[in-house]
Amino acid sequence: SLGADVLIDDNPRYALECAEQGIKVLLFDYLNAYPWCKNGSATLHPLVTKVYNWEEVQGQLLSWQLD
């Protein structure tokens, strides 16, 4: 166990592995420019949210904090 509440990563495989363990994931695809982030299976998981810049990361973290 990672002991993490949230993972921010650009690797869809890691994103899916963590989401399957109950960790919320921000899949980082800066400006939609990372070809390796185009794997759709990770973003189908309900705990994976794709983000495209650091402002979106901040916004999503704040949103989760308020929930």
Query: What was the pLDDT predicted at 1?
Result: 63
The domain segmentation of the chain, as residue ranges, is 6-66
**For residue 66, pLDDT beyond 90:** no
Strand residues in 1-67 grouped as ranges (E)? 6-9, 24-28, 48-51
* Residue 1 or 48, more confident: 48
pTM of the full predicted structure? 0.89
10 pLDDT band, cuts 50/70/90, is very high
Query: What was the pLDDT predicted at 48?
Result: 95
Kindly compute the dihedral angle of the four CA atoms of residues 8, 10, 11, 12, in this order, to the nearest 10 degrees.
80
Model confidence over 11-58: pLDDT tens digits? 999 999 999 999 999 999 999 999 998 867 777 899 999 999 999 999
